[in-house]
Amino acid sequence: TPLAQELGNSSPEFNEFPPIVICAGAQLNFDHSATDPDGDQLVYEFCSPLDGGDNNTDQILLATCDGAAPAPACAPPYNTVSFRAPDFTPFTPLGSGGSAVRIDPRTGMITGVPELLGQFVVGVCVSEYRNGELLSRVSRDFQFNVANCDPQVVADVREDYVTPDQELAINSCGINTVQFENQSFLEQFIDQFVWEFNINGTIQTFNEWEPTVTFPGVGTYTGELRLNEGTDCGDTATILVNIFPDITADFSYEYDTCVAGPVHFTDLSVTGSCCMTKWDWSFGEGGRSNRQNPVYTYRTPGDLPVTLTVRDTNQCEESITKILPYYPVPALIVIAPSAFTGCTPAEIFFDNLSYPIDTTYDILWNFGDGGQSTDISPFHVYEDPGTFTVDVSIVSPIGCETDTIFNELITVLPSPEAGFSFTPEEPSNIQPTVSFTDESSGAVAWRWDFGTNFNSNLPSPTYTFPDTGRYEVVQLVTHPSGCQDTAVAIIDIFPEVRYFLPNAFTPNNDSKNDIYFGEGIMDGASNFRMTIWNRWGELVFESTDPNEGWNGRKLNTGRESPNGVYVVLVSYNEPRGQLVEIKGYATLIR
């Protein structure tokens, strides 16, 4: 494309040559992908292959465009190959059957199962895109030669292991009947198959694809699976069947059903072979053991599934699972309060470390102040001072009980009650000094933090705040017991703005009261505007500067205004944005 020429584009190059021959009835997987030096996006599709030279082999015409081998190549345009539709098209070049050959537009992978023998012309086009723009289109024509290949089938059976003599060994533990699983390769080329087993000197034959064979008892038996016998496309697998004695997993357990403690497990498994070689215990809460007769201590109650898996010298394995109903009460009640001493109101968390317990247990806490809880690990708030005894009782789902009394476990000390007031209630930059009055009770020591890194230990201090703004004032009081309490208040030093208007002026150039303007405290004010109007509604003065006044002339530069009363309008925003509007009157006297 013109864009490709403008960019100096490089065309994609195909990575592999097509195979010379592909097999009918066999899966085709040919990677026809290309590589683009510029990293552009490539899209693949089947397309119309181009027609070659004519079939004329006349020595004079051979090398011309009318001959079979033009030299040099003839100039385009070229004709395309004609297909016999609808079965054959440029997009189904090997036929449109159920396993038609296809090309993946993203990867260029050509897949399918060719069914018809013969020579088939295939065209593949690769479109090159950059940022969604088509740069170029490259095509390749080639032939797929579909032939009847001579496959080599392989006899195979699902086995447990392969012997050094390449026998496929199958083990059966305690079961004389074996279901064989045929895993032979290239099943579509297997026309004949037969199974033979030597059972106590008698050859038994089976013609099923996956036969079920019953052997007389414990022992080792040999057999074969033969495929396409008597042909060049055949194979034989030698089979070894081991019928081992039965193995039975079993166990018992013993424990105190009411008091938590170790559980003793006893292996009762039996095998007809020499002996057991492995024990694998899973106790149902994550614990495991490989001992024959383990001892295990549970931390979790419940109906726990215990599984034992055993193995004997023949590698035979068997598992059994039993439910262990484990609901004892803890052998020792253990609790861990978050604190043993506190100040009223004292909130204490009682962490119950006893095991095994869960929500199926009935638990009752008595905290010694009349309060109770049925939680496993509760919070409790002691409102009054004193020393308190805590009692914990636990009842399991099967009725086992235990109880523990923790004498004088918790000590709660009295606390003071902080509190204060202040004046003025609305301090400002004009009046920034605030007097604080202590209203606490039970206090013997005070500490004040005014939010400015300044502190005081006086019961009722006075403090002058350095600037406007909101300050968090904290009063911390201490009881003789050492317990403390705090009170907090936000003191807002308001940025106050005040502005006053006079009611008359005399612009007679005697340097006395010649200018009309207001006065006040305007620090932090914004959007100031003053306008003055005569009785006809005419604007005679306007300013946004609070320090600028009216000299009696129109807009301070025009003609002199006559004696009379003028309307004055002033507006501005306070430092925190609130709009203030003032209306007054100015009497002009000359």
What does 298-364 look like in DSSP terms, one character per residue? -SS-EEEEEEEEEEETT--EEEEEEEEEE-PBPSS--EEES-SEEESSEEEEEEE--SS--TTSEEE
- Between 86-90, 106-110, 144-148, 288-292, the lowest mean confidence (pLDDT) is in 144-148
- Do 240 and 252 share a domain, yes or no? no
Q: What is the rounded average pLDDT of the residues 265-291?
A: 96
Tell me what pLDDT residue 56 has.
Answer: 66
Tell me what pLDDT residue 407 has.
Answer: 97
Tell me what pLDDT residue 564 has.
Answer: 95
Query: N- to C-terminal Cα distance for the chain?
Result: 91
83 or 379: which leads in pLDDT: 379
Does a structural domain hold residue 155?
no
Q: What is the rounded average pLDDT of the residues 396-412?
A: 97
Cα–Cα distance between 388 and 357 in angstroms, integer? 25
Does a structural domain hold residue 7?
yes
- Do 347 and 426 share a domain, yes or no? no
Does a structural domain hold residue 156?
no
The set of residues, in sequence order, having a beta carbon less than 8 Å from that of 351 and lying 6+ positions away, is 335, 336, 337, 338, 377
- Do 269 and 298 share a domain, yes or no? yes
Q: Does residue 485 surpass a pLDDT of 70?
A: yes
- Do 9 and 75 share a domain, yes or no? yes
- Do 255 and 199 share a domain, yes or no? no
| Local structure of residue 424 (DSSP, 8 states) | S
User: Residue 150 — pLDDT band, cuts 50, 70, 90?
Assistant: low
- Between 114-123, 294-303, 460-469, 501-510, the lowest mean confidence (pLDDT) is in 114-123
Q: With contact defined as beta carbons under 8 Å apart, do 284 and 324 qualify? A: yes
Does a structural domain hold residue 559?
yes
Q: What is the rounded average pLDDT of the residues 328-357?
A: 96
Does a structural domain hold residue 542?
yes
Cα–Cα distance between 382 and 374 in angstroms, integer? 17
Tell me what pLDDT residue 151 has.
Answer: 63
Q: Which segment, 51-55, 59-63, 250-254, is predicted with the most confidence on average?
A: 250-254
- Do 424 and 389 share a domain, yes or no? no
- Do 342 and 297 share a domain, yes or no? no
Q: What is the rounded average pLDDT of the residues 459-481?
A: 97
Tell me what pLDDT residue 233 has.
Answer: 74
User: Residue 573 — pLDDT band, cuts 50, 70, 90?
Assistant: very high
Q: What is the rounded average pLDDT of the residues 45-51?
A: 91
User: Residue 73 — pLDDT band, cuts 50, 70, 90?
Assistant: confident
Q: Does residue 72 surpass a pLDDT of 90?
A: no
Q: Which CATH number goes with the domain that contains 131?
A: 2.60.40.10
- Do 454 and 525 share a domain, yes or no? no
Cα–Cα distance between 429 and 437 in angstroms, integer? 21
Does a structural domain hold residue 460?
yes
Does a structural domain hold residue 153?
no
Q: Does residue 185 surpass a pLDDT of 90?
A: no
Tell me what pLDDT residue 54 has.
Answer: 66
Tell me what pLDDT residue 98 has.
Answer: 61
Using DSSP's 3-state secondary structure scheme, residue 554 falls into: helix
Tell me what pLDDT residue 524 has.
Answer: 87
Tell me what pLDDT residue 297 has.
Answer: 95
Q: With contact defined as beta carbons under 8 Å apart, do 328 and 301 qualify? A: yes
Q: With contact defined as beta carbons under 8 Å apart, do 160 and 243 qualify? A: no
Domain boundary among 279, 303, 326: 326
User: Residue 53 — pLDDT band, cuts 50, 70, 90?
Assistant: low
Tell me what pLDDT residue 99 has.
Answer: 65
Cα–Cα distance between 256 and 267 in angstroms, integer? 19
Tell me: the pLDDT tens digits for 5-36? 777 788 899 999 998 788 877 889 999 999 99
Does a structural domain hold residue 298?
yes
Q: Is 370 exposed, middle or buried (0-12, 13-18, 19+ CB in 10 A)?
A: exposed
Domain boundary among 182, 216, 244: 244
Tell me what pLDDT residue 21 has.
Answer: 80
Q: Does residue 466 surpass a pLDDT of 80?
A: yes
- Do 113 and 237 share a domain, yes or no? no
Q: What is the rounded average pLDDT of the residues 268-285?
A: 95
Task: Label each residue of 223-240 as H, E or C.
Answer: EEEEECCCCCCCEEEEEE
Biggest alpha carbon distance in the chain? 149
User: Residue 176 — pLDDT band, cuts 50, 70, 90?
Assistant: very high
According to DSSP, the residues that pair with 204 across neighbouring strands are: 197
User: Residue 77 — pLDDT band, cuts 50, 70, 90?
Assistant: confident
Using DSSP's 3-state secondary structure scheme, residue 3 falls into: helix
Complete DSSP assignment for 55-109: S---TTTTTSTTSSS-SSPPPSP-PBPP--TTT-BTTBTT--STT--EE-TTT-E
Q: Which CATH number goes with the domain that contains 572?
A: 2.60.40
Tell me: the pLDDT tens digits for 206-230? 999 999 999 999 999 999 999 988 7
Domain boundary among 194, 213, 244: 244
User: What is the residue range of 201's domain?
Assistant: 161-244
User: Residue 76 — pLDDT band, cuts 50, 70, 90?
Assistant: confident
Q: With contact defined as beta carbons under 8 Å apart, do 181 and 195 qualify? A: no
- Do 30 and 126 share a domain, yes or no? yes
> pTM here?
0.54
- Whole-number percent of the chain with pLDDT over 90: 78
Q: With contact defined as beta carbons under 8 Å apart, do 562 and 576 qualify? A: no
Cα–Cα distance between 255 and 413 in angstroms, integer? 46
The number of distinct structural domains making up the chain is 6
Q: With contact defined as beta carbons under 8 Å apart, do 516 and 524 qualify? A: no
Q: What is the rounded average pLDDT of the residues 504-529?
A: 93
Q: What mean pLDDT, rounded, does the chain reach? A: 92
